[in-house]
Structure 1
Amino acid sequence: MLLVTFSSDDNEDRLGVQLDNEVVDVGALASARHATVPATLLEAVRMGGDGIAALLSDPVPGAFRRPIKDVTLRAPLRPGKVIGVGLNYTEHVAESARTLDTDKELPQRPVLFSKPATAVVGPGEPIQHNGDLTAQLDWECELAVVIGRTAKRVPAESAMRHVFGYSIVNDISARDQRRSGQWFYSKGQDSFAPFGPAIRTADDVGDPYALELSLRVNGEVKQKSSTKYMLFRIPELIADITAGMTLEPGDVIATGSPAGVGASFTPPQYLKPGDVVEATVQNIGTLRNPVVDAR
């Protein structure tokens, strides 16, 4: 299933299922069929999606479908925490060493950082460019793993049982706000974690290492790669993180960026107000966000 959070005329956030170019209002359909389903996508993550799948096992009448163009998609949920993974694609390691002064050697363990929940924005919401803080606002298209079960000290061999589904995070970075090697302020500012537009349940994704990723700025391709080039795969990431940190339902792991970030170009290319950024992951969708002047 492709799950979304959407609003329409009443501006109230609702749980939906995207079917082609339409969104099914899960709550309204459940009420009509006297069924009990989660009220929000976060509740669906906590409870599992079986009830929603059962609700959709019969044809859905048109009264409960809305054209996707007539609704507003929101961030699917607000994660308790977003764990970022740095330098997780070989070519990105090389370009970062060349342009961002990071280590040229492949990391031996996952390189981890965090983004606060306040950094999360949904599809269509603006990425804030504050020229008083940065002249180097950069992009990174990443596959996002959404945790479905509490995970603590989870071995790699059982880690995938804790994955609810997958989405997209655009890991926005103010490259000139790294402080003594620390990335939190560079990557954690408001609007620096565009997330969405949907969550595809794990059972519907198939092989998470066979997904194409791409990113466009104003329609021009800047990144194009595949998750098959991930250095540390999802079980390794979950095992490493949960060795010392509990992951809870709704938490998100942004699994790293392929090559093609703005800092890697000659001369560097950075985001500016008026730009539109589109991050795409195969089988999930496209996360589109404008860049606005936040001064």
Structure 2
Amino acid sequence: MDLQSVAPSLKAAIENGLLADISVDTEEAIAFDSVTLLPPVTAPEKIFCIGVNYANRNAEYKDGSAAPTKPSVFIRFPDSLTGHNQPLIRPPESHQLDYEGEIVVVIGKAGRRISRENAFEHIAGLTIMNEGTLRDWVRHAKFNVTQGKNFVHSGSMGPWMVSADEFSSAALEDMHISTRVNGELRQHDTSASMMFPITFIIEYLSTFCELKPGDIIATGTPNGAGARFDPPIYLKPGDIVEVEVEGVGVLSNGVEDEQV
């Protein structure tokens, strides 16, 4: 099946309630290694990221701060992300490119002031993000991480979206996530450690804005990012980063220097 005969993009399929109409005839299947995977949603209206959302990640800062009562929120731009098996780009302005493996929610149904009890029905599916960060650039100002989160192709998303009907609402509350760099396990935790569960995040964000089909919510990263080692271990060209989320798959990316 030519999927574009159903909808021109995954976002359009979500917006028009056509996910159930998308299927693949195995006789017409295309070899996986012959295609280039883009981020599952290439043009989301909003990409929200939740900062310091795992309890042990807050402790990892070693600043004596109490657990937050409200989530930290920032945004990314679509072109800051690339797809599965595409390189993360280290810019010439900084060699402090770091990894952050995250569980990602794709919104399926628009809503404002969505209650936690109804949040699951607004999810189209789940995907994975490596929320790549230029560490020195997130420290350019006191309350601003935007610069260090939005270098072009510094992060990635994919490899695909798994539809919400493949998960129970309870599964979202205890889903394993791991990050490996060159095969070495660097991050491992479950969503049970989130200080702000996925349903709470949807409720909170939808209080001040309307969540729309195709909107992206990256839900935070466990401890173990490269910046937290002593000395820090940042990504360099030739590294391979894999982020694995239970029930979703593995997002894999190499690292290259930007050609300027």
Please report the TM-score for the alignment, with normalisation by the length of structure 2.
Answer: 0.91
Deviation at 1:155, TM superposition (A): 2.2
- Counterpart for residue 72 of structure 1: 36
Deviation at 1:26, TM superposition (A): 4.7
Match of 1:168 among 117, 128, 146: 128
How far, CA to CA, are the matches of 1:108 and 1:193 in structure 2? Answer: 28
Instruction: Please identify runs of 4+ aligned residues in structure 1 that moved more than 4 A.
Output: none
Matched, 1:197 2:167: no
- Counterpart for residue 186 of structure 2: 222
Structure-to-structure mapping, 1:35-54, within 5 angstroms: 37-48=6-17, 49-52=19-22
- Counterpart for residue 88 of structure 2: 127
How far, CA to CA, are the matches of 2:249 and 2:242 in structure 1? Answer: 10
Q: Deviations over 1:235-278 (max 9, x none)?
A: 21111111112221111000000111111112111111221111
CA RMSD of aligned residues (A): 1.8
Deviation at 1:193, TM superposition (A): 3.1
Deviation at 1:151, TM superposition (A): 2.0
How far, CA to CA, are the matches of 1:187 and 1:40 in structure 2? Answer: 26
Please report the TM-score for the alignment, with normalisation by the length of structure 1.
Answer: 0.81
- Counterpart for residue 27 of structure 1: 3
How far, CA to CA, are the matches of 1:61 and 1:187 in structure 2? Answer: 39
- For the Cα contact (< 8 Å) 1:115–1:193, is it kept in 2? no
Q: Deviations over 1:142-173 (max 9, x none)?
A: 00000011122222222222110000011111
The letter of the residue matching 1:143 is I
Deviation at 1:287, TM superposition (A): 0.9
Which deviates more, 107-116 or 200-209? 200-209
- For the Cα contact (< 8 Å) 2:98–2:132, is it kept in 1? yes
Q: Percent identity?
A: 34
Deviation at 1:196, TM superposition (A): 0.3
- Counterpart for residue 5 of structure 1: none
Paired residues, number? 253
How far, CA to CA, are the matches of 2:26 and 2:157 in structure 1? Answer: 30
Q: Could you say what secondary structure the match of 2:173 adopts? A: coil
Deviation at 1:213, TM superposition (A): 0.7
Deviation at 1:281, TM superposition (A): 0.7
How far, CA to CA, are the matches of 2:70 and 2:222 in structure 1? Answer: 17
Q: Could you say what secondary structure the match of 2:208 adopts? A: coil
How far, CA to CA, are the matches of 1:256 and 1:266 in structure 2? Answer: 22
Larger relative contact order (Cα-Cα within 8 Å, sequence gap ≥ 6):
2
Matched, 1:115 2:79: no
